[in-house]
Amino acid sequence: MRSSKSRSRSKQSRNRPTGNIVNRVFDSSGPEGKVRGTPQQIIDKYNQLARDAQLAGDRVATENFQQHAEHYLRMLSEAQREQEARREQQEQQNRERQAERDRERAARQERESNGGKMVNDPAAAPQPEVIDPSEGGDSGLVETPESAGEAKKPKPRSRRKPKKSEDEGTEAAE
Q: Is residue 34 one of the residues assigned to a domain? A: yes
* pTM metric for this prediction: 0.47
For the ranges 35-49, 84-98, 127-141, which has the lowest average pLDDT?
A: 127-141
The pLDDT value recorded for residue 104 is 93
Please give, one letter per residue, the 3-state secondary structure of 55-97: HCCCHHHHHHHHHHHHHHHHHHHHHHHHHHHHHHHHHHHHHHH
Helices (H) and strands (E) in the chain, counts: 5, 2
Q: Cα Rg for the chain, rounded, in angstroms?
A: 48
Counting the structural domains of the chain, the total is 1
Q: Is residue 51 one of the residues assigned to a domain? A: yes
Q: Is residue 128 one of the residues assigned to a domain? A: no
- Per-residue pLDDT of 105-141, as tens digits, reads 999 888 888 765 555 667 777 777 776 666 665 666 6
How sure is the predictor about 1, in pLDDT bands with cuts at 50, 70 and 90?
Answer: very low
Q: Is residue 169 one of the residues assigned to a domain? A: no
Q: Is residue 120 one of the residues assigned to a domain? A: no
Q: Structural domain of residue 82, as residue ranges?
A: 21-113
Q: Is residue 105 one of the residues assigned to a domain? A: yes
Q: Is residue 8 one of the residues assigned to a domain? A: no
The pLDDT value recorded for residue 157 is 74
Q: Is residue 46 one of the residues assigned to a domain? A: yes
Burial code of 144-174, b = ≥16 C-beta within 10 A, e = fewer? Answer: eeeeeeeeeeeeeeeeeeeeeeeeeeeeeee
